[in-house]
Structure 1
Amino acid sequence: MSDNELGTKNLEKLKGTHLDGGDQEELLMTQTECSFVFLDADGWPRGVIMSFIYDKGSVWLTAVEGRAHVKGADRDERVSVIVSSAGSGLPGRRMVALKGRVTVHRDPAVKDWFLHEFTHRIQPADPHSWRKLLDSPNRVVFEVVPEGKPTSHDQRKIPGNGRGMAAGADTGRKVGP
């Protein structure tokens, strides 16, 4: 099959369908939920869905001491963060998977900075009420610094929406009210 059949007759060769740097940044700055993947005590990959912000080139999240993902991050700093465009309002299906090293911050100054940024970005209508809930004694902050090349995908680069249809074909799916 030729490369020009990508998206209409095959999805084997996805070369060139990665998210470009600016589009990765847009996804990370727009989306608010991710999958946080860590190794559990038995060495198995395990994941949780978490709210996050992207700032200073890092993914920032929060949890409470004693939870499996905090223990996992303390045990092994190697983690992954997977972000999709689902529910973000961005056009097209997009995703980026970042591998990186996590630092678990317990410093009150980091927690103070994070809670301000996090609550204002995630809950802008009433950040103060949410901050009161989150600002607990056992709260920690994760900073994931990405390393290596991310894995990403940008469906907008695939003709036919990547679902076997000719470009411009009606999917029959109702969008909106």
Structure 2
Amino acid sequence: MTDETQVDYEDLTSMRLDDDGLAELLAGPAECVFNWTTRDGHPVGVVVAFVHQDGKFFTTCAERRARVPALRQRPQSGIVINNGGKTATFKGESIVHANGDPGFDELKAWFYTRLSRLDTKPDDPYVQSFAKFLDSPHRVIIETDARLVVAFDTAKFHAFTVEAMAAQND
């Protein structure tokens, strides 16, 4: 194989997820891996449901979860989404919103509606119950203003790999 026909398999920039693919990935509600650090500096993550709105991610959990005090002390966090061979990794800063905080009632009203899908299935009894279930006194909403780090499309990667292997065999 000559240098002119060699495929640079180390350069994956052309495998980026395009804007439409990223928008589809974020359209949710969906699941992500939400990451933060422990007090001793170790990264940890959990799979949670999210809503993406206005460039921010919104997730929820019980206030007693370990991530809540961790994020209050160290707001740096990361979000990884993987669905159907499309992935995106974000990093940002999180804010924990709790009952009694200014604007919490407005935040939970739209967020619980979107997360439960009450906005798209208002007559579904399960959805109605889930929306009510979310509204518990010790539940927090985590808002993460995150920036895209990398978005990847495995379908493009597969095609690129096939091409690279074929070029190697020429």
Please give the range of the TM-score, normalised by the shorter of the 2 chains. 0.7 to 0.9
Between Structure 1 and Structure 2, whose CA radius of gyration is higher?
Answer: 2
Three-state SS of the structure 1 residue aligned to 2:27 is helix
Letter matched to residue 83 of structure 2:
S
Q: Displacement, 1:84?
A: 0.4
Query: What is the Cα-based RMSD across aligned positions, in Å?
Result: 2.9
Q: Displacement, 1:108?
A: 2.4
Three-state SS of the structure 2 residue aligned to 1:62 is strand
Alignment of 1:36-115 (within 5 A): 36-86=34-84, 93-106=85-98, 107-115=104-112
Percent of counterpart pairs with the same letter? 27
Three-state SS of the structure 2 residue aligned to 1:116 is helix
Q: Displacement, 1:132?
A: 2.1
Three-state SS of the structure 1 residue aligned to 2:24 is helix
Q: TM-score under structure 2 normalisation?
A: 0.78
Matched, 1:133 2:133: yes
Alignment of 1:124-163 (within 5 A): 124=121, 125=124, 126-147=126-147, 149-160=148-159, 162=161
Q: In 2 relative to 1, CA 82–3 (structure 1 residues): closer, same or farther, beyond 3 Å?
A: farther
CA distance in 2: counterparts of 1:47 and 1:113, whole angstroms: 25
Q: Displacement, 1:156?
A: 2.3
Letter matched to residue 140 of structure 1:
V
Three-state SS of the structure 1 residue aligned to 2:15 is coil
Whether the aligned pair in 2 keeps the contact of 1:32 and 1:122 (CA below 8 Å) is no
Q: In 2 relative to 1, CA 5–131 (structure 1 residues): closer, same or farther, beyond 3 Å?
A: farther
More helix by share: 2
CA distance in 2: counterparts of 1:101 and 1:45, whole angstroms: 15
Q: Which runs of 5+ in 1 are unaligned?
A: 87-92, 168-177
Q: Displacement, 1:164?
A: 8.1
- Tell me how many residue pairs correspond in the alignment: 157
CA distance in 2: counterparts of 1:143 and 1:98, whole angstroms: 13
